[in-house]
Structure 1
Amino acid sequence: MEHLIKGVHLEGWRKMGDPKERARQYYEQGADELLYMDVVASLYDRNNLSSIVRNVASEVFIPITVGGGIRNLKAVHDLLAVGADKVAINTAATIDPDILRAISDTYGSQATVLSIEAKRQPAGGWEAMTDNGRNRSGRDVVKWAVEGQRLGAGELLITSIDQDGTGRGMDENLIATVAREVDIPVIASGGVGTVGHVINVLQNPDVSAVAVAKTLHMNQLSIQDLKESCVAAGVPVRSTQTMVAA
């Protein structure tokens, strides 16, 4: 049985519920999109989300992005065939960047998401990590984001490993720096603990969406709470900016 899990800094995983039940809950609350990431897929060389996606897609009518362990076009085809709308690629793209072009050429840039797990470096900047934050790629995050766009990615998912699961706020500098250098949608991930954290990031017009996980899974906030607060703060959440349940 597959479980919805969440950790801190992309480790120390804790079970948080049933993926299908949570999907229905977030859909009913008004999520604009769902994001499923198999956090051990690269470690165990698998992609095990097809059955979950198939079940969820039959009941939830918003875009579904799936990532983790996707290494070739067949894996992409299999996920899109059961109801995924987009695939998020991290580790495989750092090994063979041309996989982004292959996916984009075959299925369109709108289905191609480059997922970047960013870790702050002591000397400044951020390095892109692979295998759910376990290994170093040697790639500068901002340069990799620009390269990913050139190769055909239609969207970027930027996760701050340093902030992930802490609830202490997002790495606004990271997100703003990346978003400033690309012309494709940027989804910010990692660190949401309050409504204010979401508002702070979405006030940047270059940021398209925020992915929220732990605070939703623990019922500390609802998507309705987040959206109502964003609207009250003058942040658009149904036109150019969206809320993603991760």
Structure 2
Amino acid sequence: MITKRIIPCLDVKMGRVVKGINFVGLKDVGDPVEIAKFYNDEGADELVFLDITASHEGRKTMIDVVERTANEVFIPLTVGGGISTIEDIKAILRAGADKISINSAALRNPNLITEGAELFGEQCIVVAIDGKKRSDGSGWNIFINGGRIDTGVDAIEYAKEAARRGAGEILLTSMDADGTKNGYDIEFLNAICGSINIPVIASGGCGEISHISEVFKKTNSDAALAASIFHYKEASIGDVKKYLKKDNIEVRI
């Protein structure tokens, strides 16, 4: 049985970890290297860093943060935000990241997925999809710019294309669930998991440990990503893994 992964997410702005709801009301949570090391020692399976400002200045900050973090942690590190060219991918991987996450750039230029997978290996390419249910309930559209712009692109069809082009996994965030703390979007996850055969990371809506158990029991998600419950010490990685073990969900202890 494949073990399920628990992945803390660190939103980084100008070299600091911040937390807000839908990118609003951001609060400083701390130094990314210290926080990453803490999660590494706690038993996280992987880490995701998202450079949420991704300005040119922020890009340099992120390279520095990635280098310092890679020296301190020994679990896979995925970095996203502002990555739009092969050169960007190369720079982040060279700095010590194991994978890169691409979102709007891949939507604008799907060849970036293909080229990235060919040059660096499929395992390095994570395609992030932020989706929201259409008002008529007929499916989900992809949103960009922190959920502010509706692209009109169908999330399921795009996930299929990303998989065809060589994406190693999909990081799926539900805009409907994000920030609510009411649990992951089970319906959306099942729609995506059922249409592709690459790993899916569930993101958006985690408010308590039981939500992580629920997402593994009710969907074929390979990993659960969470931020607030870990940053604000509402639960530790160890607490989550013990809970999952009791629920007969295979995790790496």
| Contact in 2 for aligned 1:94/1:137 (Cα 8 Å) | no
Correspondence 1:170 to 2:197: no
Correspondence 1:6 to 2:34: no
Q: For residues 198 and 152 of structure 2, what CA distance do their matches in structure 1 show? A: 23
Letter in 1 for 2:26: W
Secondary structure of 2:194's aligned partner: helix
Aligned to 1:70: 83
Give the 3 Å change call, closer, same or farther, for CA 56–90 of structure 1 in structure 2: same
Task: Decide which moves more: 164-173 or 187-196.
Answer: 164-173
Question: Residue 153 of structure 2: which of 139, 151, 154 is its match?
Answer: 139
Secondary structure of 2:135's aligned partner: coil
Secondary structure of 2:172's aligned partner: strand
Q: For residues 38 and 79 of structure 1, what CA distance do their matches in structure 2 show? A: 12
Correspondence 1:227 to 2:215: no
Correspondence 1:238 to 2:252: yes
Letter in 2 for 1:217: H
Give the 3 Å change call, closer, same or farther, for CA 94–211 of structure 1 in structure 2: same
Correspondence 1:203 to 2:180: no
Query: How big is the shift at 1:176?
Result: 1.3
- The TM-score with structure 2 as length reference comes to 0.90
Aligned to 1:81: 94
Query: Where do 5+ consecutive residues of structure 1 fail to align?
Result: 240-246
Aligned to 1:28: 41
Query: Where do 5+ consecutive residues of structure 2 fail to align?
Result: 1-13
Query: How big is the shift at 1:24?
Result: 0.9
Aligned to 2:9: none
Letter in 2 for 1:128: I
Q: Describe how 1:41-190 pairs up with structure 2 within 5 A.
A: 41=54, 47=59, 48-124=61-137, 125-190=139-204
RMSD over aligned Cα atoms: 1.7
| Contact in 1 for aligned 2:213/2:247 (Cα 8 Å) | yes
Task: Decide which moves more: 128-137 or 176-185.
Answer: 128-137
| Contact in 1 for aligned 2:183/2:206 (Cα 8 Å) | yes
- The TM-score with structure 1 as length reference comes to 0.92
Size of the alignment, in residue pairs?
238
Task: Decide which moves more: 143-152 or 197-206.
Answer: 197-206
